[in-house]
Amino acid sequence: MIVMGGIIGSGIFVNPYVVARQVHTSFLILGAWVLGGLTALAGAFIYAELAMLRPNLGGQYAYLREAYHPAVAFLYGWALLLVMQTGGMAAVAVTFARYAREIIHTNASDGLIATLVLALLTAINCLGVRLGSVVQSTLMVMKIGAIVVLLIAGFSASSAGTTAAAQEPFTPHLLITFGAAVTPVLFAYGGWQTASFMTGEMRNPGRDLARALVLGVIGVTAIYLSVNIVCLRSLGPEGLAATITPAYTVMQRAIGPRGALFMAFAISISTLGFLSQGMLTAPRVYFAMARDGLFFRSIAWLPKSTRVPVAAIALQGVLATIIALSGRYEQILNYVVSIDFIFFGLTGASLFIFRRRTGGARGHQTPGHPFTTVFFVAACWLVVLATFYHYPANSLVGLALLLLGIPVYLYWSRRRTA
């Protein structure tokens, strides 16, 4: 549930049209989502082996620290705290607020509702990891239920009759446009790696995280493909490309005006589950940074009653709230897309380093290594190159924010030594 909750947000209800505008046949549209799923699965297998090789608290943070240098791990945590995690949570909290207002018909501002939901989830996760995981599982089950209703309604509605795999001649331009279609798909599959942050609080992280990563990514791939099949069946490739709210359009065709209210509810639950997952997982990285002496010592505080990093959770909640109220979250998200995939690629490549040191994990080894590992790393860095090419200004700002962490790391490193 944590793995799936970290992937499925509000994007699957909207993103299918983005892919359909790049490639114009059902075969290529579904092919892009299949390729994205295979890439995510390759990454899940890598992280599963890493979980067995290094079952340390902090997950991806620990892999980067031990494979490369503590500075690399710190820069990852720095970007996660300042922009990647908090900016994403702020944007999703405001999205939740907008749809929640449609359901409860309140005059409260988006900022106020976002602040309240962030505060509530912060408090829940400060009370213990068991309560936080129960809330996360409950929201994930509700989210899956809402998607199942969408699938049933979509398959029950009349077909557009244009979902056959039309032929399109292979050209270099087609290859480029297909690559452009896969890029947002890879973004939509991102988030499964955050489950690795919970290894320090798992009874058997080597076994359980490995299973969760693989099964969770397979489950999400099945859900994403099903949603796209329903959209194509109901709207056809041209109709899918013509609407920016494909899930809403499918539900409206299937059940009329009630579809709008249902989709508002479905997206609200989906965004709430995403927020819950982020509040449960990412603070473990800030805790690990503090434990390593690279952040404020108070962030590593664990109350005896709950044994959860209360200060780290509260810090993330406060920063996400500030960003949500500032209205700068969308701009921040534009800065960090390329940075996120830089660390994806570095973490995937760390498997080569750990394999050389230990010879591989017992009980689980990445299928097809080294070819699948190279495939995953190359896919991540191709996304980075594409992002810098298409959005150079935003990508350079993101890179500058990342590099600002270097003097901060040097300060904390010298302080720790002293």
For residue 326, the domain's CATH number is 1.20.1740.10
pLDDT for 187: 81
| Percent over 70 (pLDDT), the chain | 94
Q: Please determine, for residue 120, whether its predicted confidence score (pLDDT) is greater than 90.
A: yes
R_g over Cα of the chain: 21
pLDDT band per the 50, 70, 90 thresholds, residue 169: low
Compute the residue count for the chain. Answer: 418
Q: What is the mean pLDDT of residues 9-32?
A: 86
In Å, what is the CA distance from 137 to each residue of 29, 36, 261? 31, 25, 24
Report pLDDT digits (tens) over 209-246: 888 988 999 999 999 999 999 999 888 898 898 888 78
pLDDT band per the 50, 70, 90 thresholds, residue 107: confident
pLDDT for 168: 63
CA separation for the pair 335, 392 (Å, rounded): 10
Q: Please determine, for residue 360, whether its predicted confidence score (pLDDT) is greater than 70.
A: no
In angstroms, how far apart are the furthest CA atoms of the chain? 71
pLDDT for 305: 83
Contact 216, 195 (CB under 8 A): yes
CA separation for the pair 253, 360 (Å, rounded): 52
pLDDT band per the 50, 70, 90 thresholds, residue 160: low
pLDDT band per the 50, 70, 90 thresholds, residue 306: confident
For 32-41, 111-120, 133-142, 185-194, which range has the lowest pLDDT when averaged over its residues? 185-194
Contact 76, 60 (CB under 8 A): yes
Residue-range definition of the domain harbouring residue 308: 2-417
**308-330 residues labelled b (16+ CB within 10 A) or e (exposed):** bbbbbbbbbbebbbebbbeeebe
Domain count, the chain: 1
Contact 300, 200 (CB under 8 A): no
Q: What is the mean pLDDT of residues 145-159?
A: 83
Report pLDDT digits (tens) over 21-64: 888 889 999 999 999 999 999 999 998 888 888 776 568 899 99
pLDDT for 161: 54
For 74-78, 95-99, 409-413, which range has the lowest pLDDT when averaged over its residues? 95-99
Q: What is the mean pLDDT of residues 343-366?
A: 85
User: Residue 367 — left, alpha, or beta (φ > 0 → left; ψ -120 to 50 → alpha)?
Assistant: beta
Q: Please determine, for residue 363, whether its predicted confidence score (pLDDT) is greater than 70.
A: no
Nearest to residue 70, comparing CAs of 294, 346, 230?
294
Distance, CA of 98 to chain centre: 21
Q: Please determine, for residue 68, whether its predicted confidence score (pLDDT) is greater than 90.
A: yes
pLDDT for 202: 80
Nearest to residue 120, comparing CAs of 96, 143, 144?
96
pLDDT for 253: 83
Q: Name the more confident of 29 and 103.
A: 29
For 8-22, 166-180, 289-303, which range has the lowest pLDDT when averaged over its residues? 166-180
Distance, CA of 349 to chain centre: 20
pLDDT for 391: 80
Report pLDDT digits (tens) over 273-287: 889 999 988 999 999
- Residue 304: helix, strand or coil by DSSP? coil
User: Residue 362 — left, alpha, or beta (φ > 0 → left; ψ -120 to 50 → alpha)?
Assistant: beta
Q: What is the mean pLDDT of residues 360-379?
A: 85
pLDDT band per the 50, 70, 90 thresholds, residue 362: low
Q: Please determine, for residue 404, whether its predicted confidence score (pLDDT) is greater than 90.
A: yes
Please enumerate, as own/partner, the contacts of 407-411 that have beta carbons within 8 Å and a separation of 24 or more: 408/74, 408/78, 409/70, 409/71, 409/74, 409/75, 409/78, 409/294
pLDDT band per the 50, 70, 90 thresholds, residue 361: low
Q: Name the more confident of 328 and 49.
A: 49
